[in-house]
Copies of this chain bind each other. A is one copy, B any other.
Amino acid sequence: MKQTKDDYDKFHRKPMQVHNAQKLLSSYGKPGPTEKIPLQEGHGRFLAEEVQAPHPFPRFRRSGMDGYAIRSEDTTQCSSDNMIWLDVIDEIPCGYVSEKTIISGTAARIMTGAEVPEGADAVVMLEMTELREHEGRTQMGLKRMIEAGKNITPVGFEVKEGEVLLRTGRQIQAGEISVLASFGVHQVTVYQKPRIAIFSTGSELLTLDEPLQPGKIRNSNTYMLASQVRVAGGEPFILEAVMDDLPLAKAKVEQALQEYDAVVTSGGVSVGDYDIMGDFARSDSVEMLYNKIAMRPGSVTTAAVKDGKLLFALSGNPGACFVGFELFVRPFILQSVGSGKPYLTEWTAVLDQDYTKVNAFTRYVRGRIEVRDGILYAIPAKVDESSVMVTIKDSDCLIVIPPAKSVTPAGDKVKVLLLKGNTL
């Protein structure tokens, strides 16, 4: 319990700014190996290839209406007083190609989406027409002039051949699947999900289904982190909790660093006597990147690297653990899958209520976004004790409160980082 040189290092850590820490980490977040998977399994994955259009779209002149394919020049004399009649010489459902050519005086019945026959240069919608049998022929009648090109989508109107459909690093969602399927891309090359090992530290931790014991608390961070890893696009592996024993923790974490793409721990980084992960990060076994961040909650957040692999040692406090993941681990996972947008979306909002806590460090306050009449408001969660885990679930943003010596008043513009969605 003596205060030693090690203690001195613990107490006199040099805090790093969040964006500097992110920059430092980003040199380790590189797209990893790729794999080819069926498109149907691609939802949520990130493209490891640029996809170009193998053909124009539409590939043929496409009817935009149910009606008749005609020659527009046949309609120049049409008016409400002058109906013209054209012989209906074919009927073209979707998926079929007419073998006939529309010549002056003729028309073909055509469906939405079908290929416009040769000779025709416009489609008139069914509702504008009449139908009759005349001298043994089926005829359609029309009283309005139709301009050339009407209701026909030209070849390549939506997409030209060779056009880039989707860039490398794009996440595959419903809209991307629609595009890829339209062009017959039935397999996609995506980045493999990084395999992330998750530990909790601390012998006070009970597993989920152990009975309660005095003084002990349940290990909730590992399960929360697993969920965050999944959402970010990684594959979580929950490993046995590391006890408060440096050699044991060291051995387990080093083994995990070999077997997985990164290791995330929670706990064991504060300024105490059992700060196993902090001690490990400061040891010769690894290269420490930082062991203090100029932020609240989670200033003790630590990171180290060994053989090019990252150890994220997050705070054991649930709120700080959550924030540390979103700011540091999530970007690493997104960089590993090639995403071009690894950081949380940042918006400017109006602070809805006074924020009274003061601090020398930037605060990442859990809160909610509300839009009222086109203006974005940021509402801090009622309690922001960093230990109050119940606010995590009710938050959809982190409100960034810069270092302040007095109250940050309602009405101030603040940055918010979106936690749920808006991934564009």
Tell whether A136 is near chain B: CB-to-CB under 8 Å: no
Task: Tell me, in angstroms, the Cα distance from A413 to B373 when the chains sit together.
Answer: 8
Most buried by B among A62, A206, A374, A391: A374
Surface stretch bound by B, among A20-28, A282-290, A347-355? A347-355
**A76-106 vs B: 1/0 string, CB under 8 Å?**
0000000000001001011111000000000
Tell whether A407 is near chain B: CB-to-CB under 8 Å: no
Chain B contacts of A220 at CB under 8 A? 177-182
Chain B contacts of A272 at CB under 8 A? 66, 111-112, 126
Q: Which of B96, B271, B387, B396 interacts with A127 by CB under 8 Å?
A: B271
**A195-229 vs B: 1/0 string, CB under 8 Å?**
00000001111101110101111111111111110
Q: Which of B1, B60, B96 interacts with A138 by CB under 8 Å?
A: B1
**A141-154 vs B: 1/0 string, CB under 8 Å?**
00000000000010
**A43-62 vs B: 1/0 string, CB under 8 Å?**
10000000000010011101
Task: Tell me, in angstroms, the Cα distance from A312 to B337 when the chains sit together.
Answer: 36
Surface stretch bound by B, among A246-254, A256-264, A357-365, A415-423? A415-423
Chain B contacts of A348 at CB under 8 A? 371-374
Chain B contacts of A274 at CB under 8 A? 93-94, 111
Q: Which of B114, B131, B153, B238 interacts with A204 by CB under 8 Å?
A: B114
- Interface size, chain A (Cβ < 8 Å): 116
Tell whether A410 is near chain B: CB-to-CB under 8 Å: no
Contact status of A218 and B183, CB under 8 A, knowing A1-B109, A204-B113: yes
Tell whether A186 is near chain B: CB-to-CB under 8 Å: yes
Tell whether A18 is near chain B: CB-to-CB under 8 Å: no
Q: Which of B158, B165, B223, B371 interacts with A40 by CB under 8 Å?
A: B223
**A116-146 vs B: 1/0 string, CB under 8 Å?**
0000000000110001000000100000000
Tell whether A173 is near chain B: CB-to-CB under 8 Å: yes
Q: Which of B2, B176, B212, B376 interacts with A184 by CB under 8 Å?
A: B212
Q: Which of B64, B224, B350 interacts with A387 by CB under 8 Å?
A: B64
Chain B contacts of A224 at CB under 8 A? 174-175, 177-178, 181
Tell whether A327 is near chain B: CB-to-CB under 8 Å: no
Tell whether A16 is near chain B: CB-to-CB under 8 Å: no
Task: Tell me, in angstroms, the Cα distance from A166 to B179 when the chains sit together.
Answer: 39
Contact B131 A3 (CB under 8 A): yes
Tell whether A37 is near chain B: CB-to-CB under 8 Å: no
Tell whether A279 is near chain B: CB-to-CB under 8 Å: no
Q: Which 8 A-B pairs have the closest CB atoms?
A: A421-B421, A95-B204, A175-B393, A175-B392, A94-B204, A181-B220, A66-B272, A178-B224
* CB pairs A–B below 8 angstroms (22 shown): A3-B131, A66-B271, A66-B273, A94-B203, A94-B204, A96-B215, A109-B273, A113-B217, A166-B393, A173-B231, A174-B227, A175-B392, A178-B392, A178-B393, A179-B220, A181-B220, A182-B218, A182-B220, A186-B208, A374-B375, A375-B376, A394-B424
Give the B-binding residues of A (Cβ under 8 A): 1-3, 11, 39-40, 43, 55, 58-60, 62, 64, 66, 88, 91, 93-97, 109, 111-115, 126-127, 131, 138, 153, 158-159, 165-166, 173-184, 186, 202-206, 208-210, 212, 214-228, 230-231, 238, 244, 270-274, 316-318, 322, 347-350, 368-369, 371-376, 385, 387-396, 413, 418, 420-424
